Amino acid sequence: MSRTVYVNGAYVPEEEAKVSVFDRGFLFADGIYEVTAVLDGKICEWEGHVARLERSLGEIGMKMPMSVSGLLEVHREMVKRNNLEEGAIYLQVTRGATDRDFLMPEGLEQTVILFTQAKKLTGEKTGLRVVSVPDIRWGRRDIKTVQLLAASLMKTEAKKQGKDDCWMVEEGFVTEGSSNNTYIITKEGKIITRNLTNSILPGITRKSVLRLVKELDMEIEERPFTIEEAQNAAEAFMTAATSFVTPVIEVDGVGLGGGTPGPVTKRLIEVYIEESRKASC
Ligand code: PMP
């Protein structure tokens, strides 16, 4: 079924949507994106995503394409026009179109695009098998740019190896998954996840999950961990806007917790979805 997409102020059938071949998003990956989950036709974690959008844009010298309330309206309109009950909304903002030049031009009209993907985000999760790969991405992974080639190559490599995702490793420590933040739970029940620096994206799901973990009185340590530590962990999981909390059951061929999702991860899956539904708008 054809979707309705949003392009620069207009809602159009996806087949009719057009952007310039000179768009800097296309020529230089000069753009920022955000992804929000939709549950029961409502947008999850709106405030977190819109705050990160503004920060990412600012880091590359771009401004917000419209007001926060205007953006929310467009998101809601996309849900309505696409009858989206459960799935994701992608928002892409590029610097705009101009003749090809490495020098960033000032005052271009930004390209603003939204599209939806209907998919089941809730339901039983069997767990992912991950493989480690060198992290070959650039040094500003804290900015959510549309420059996703390295992550895409690495995820494809993981699939070639018959696995579900990759865990990227830099200087001996896991940075993150192809499009998610990563966590291990030690045998003593402590949750370890990498601290926020330019090496990883500050996940919106990560922020909420850490808050919930604190509320549940679980211990957290924010620091880098190794693949070996992960292989010796009781449980592992990942978080992302469109997959919430997802168990990881194998790391480089070593099964965790007997190869099935562990109890803490299962609890976090439930609690996160419950909270996310409550806070959706
Ligand atoms: N790290 C990377 C590299 C990602 O692409 C994503 C997904 N956008 C995340 C982490 C998770 O972030 P969020 O919870 O905001 O989706």
Q: Give, in degrees to the nearest 5, the angle at Cα 196 between 193 and 198.
A: 130
Pocket test for ligand 1, best of 52, 133, 169, 201 (most atoms within 8 A of CB): 201
**According to the model, what pLDDT value does residue 214 have?**
95
Residue numbers annotated as active site: 144
Instruction: Kindly state the tokens that stand for 73.
Output: 């309206």
Q: Which residues of the chain have pLDDT under 70?
A: none
pLDDT at res. 257: 86
pLDDT for the residue 176 = 98
Is the CB of residue 237 less than 8 Å from the CB of residue 183? Answer: yes
Query: Strands 111-118 and 87-94: what pairing?
Result: antiparallel
- Give 223-244 pLDDT, tens digit per residue: 999 999 999 999 999 999 999 9
Domain 128-279 falls in which CATH fold?
Answer: D-amino Acid Aminotransferase; Chain A, domain 2 (3.20.10)
- Domain ranges across the chain: 4-118, 128-279
Report which protein residue has its CA nearest ligand 1's atom 4. Answer: 179
Which residue's alpha carbon is at the smallest distance from atom 3 of ligand 1? 179
**b/e 121-139 (16+ beta carbons within 10 angstroms → b):** beeebebbbbbbbebebee
Q: Which CATH architecture has domain 4-118?
A: 2-Layer Sandwich (3.30)
Task: Output the ligand 1 site: residues, CB below 6 A.
Answer: 35, 176, 179-181, 201, 203-206, 239-241
**CA-241 nearest atom, ligand 1:** 16
Residue 279 CB neighbour total at 10 angstroms: 15
Q: pTM of the predicted model, to two decimals?
A: 0.97
What is the tens place of the pLDDT at every residue in 105-149?
A: 999 999 999 999 999 999 889 999 999 999 999 999 999 999 999
Q: How far is the CA of 210 from the centre of ligand 1 (A)?
A: 15
